[in-house]
Amino acid sequence: MVQITSRPIKEFIVYRHIKFRNAGELARRAVIEGSPMQPAHLKWISGILYRTIYPAASVMSETLAKEFADGRIWVEVEYADMPQFKSTVNTSEENVMVPVVDNSMDKEERELIEWLKKLTPAGPVL
């Protein structure tokens, strides 16, 4: 018999957040930093277009692994305002369509986005 355990996220530890001037600039960053193993895509919740970046496995220490198992997730968030959901965002310079997922049903990430929206000032703007 297979055992199944659920350990929901208890805490996001945001080690960096960057707000972009517009959705196109964020999409461009996603394309440039994408890879065959992680193709460019963005998520949207409540007027915010975003992507979450987690520490690479190569820098995962025993401490970070224990925190992950305990429900504490270290994350970098890049985001931009996008009042209305659109299923794609075009990068103007590369003319690449980046898919966008409506992630509104994700309770934990919805709380993360609400936290971002309350920031004053809203971190560095690129």
Confirm if 77 and 51 have CB atoms less than 8 A apart: yes
Q: Domain for residue 105, yes or no?
A: yes
Q: By residue range, what is the domain housing residue 109?
A: 22-118
Mean local confidence (pLDDT), 41-58: 88
The structural domain count of the chain equals 1
Predicted confidence (pLDDT) per residue in 92-104, tens digit: 888 899 999 999 9
Phi-psi region of 32 (alpha: psi -120 to 50; beta: other; left: phi over 0): alpha
Confirm if 54 and 77 have CB atoms less than 8 A apart: no
Q: Domain for residue 123, yes or no?
A: no
Mean of per-residue pLDDT scores for the chain: 88
Q: Domain for residue 37, yes or no?
A: yes
